[in-house]
Amino acid sequence: MIEGWWACFHRLVNVRWTDERLDDLNKKVDDGFNEMRAEFRMVRAEMGGLHRLMIQLSTGMFLTMILGFAGLVVAMLNHG
């Protein structure tokens, strides 16, 4: 019998890793990885959409600035 303060941590465990239990564990791990891969695919698709939106917005702002500066140049040439 185990005595002392560590006795409360001691537990006799009879672990038998049968082929069936190992197969169940393997399936759980595979299912977890498949779920993770599906989540990553969804995140990548969402990020791709946001990337396209950012490119469209920045292109629109750039073209607006170019047209604004061109308008200023034309106004200065006509005025002066």
- Quick check: is 56 in a domain? yes
- Quick check: is 52 in a domain? yes
pLDDT in tens, 32-42: 999 999 999 99
Better pLDDT: 18 or 38: 38
Number of structural domains the chain divides into: 1
- Quick check: is 49 in a domain? yes
Q: Does residue 16 have a pLDDT over 90?
A: no
- Quick check: is 58 in a domain? yes
- Quick check: is 4 in a domain? no
Residues of the domain holding 46: 18-79
pLDDT in tens, 46-79: 999 999 999 999 999 999 999 999 999 999 999 8
pTM above 0.75, yes or no: no
* Cβ-based neighbours of 10, under 8 Å, separated by 6 or more: 2
- Quick check: is 13 in a domain? no
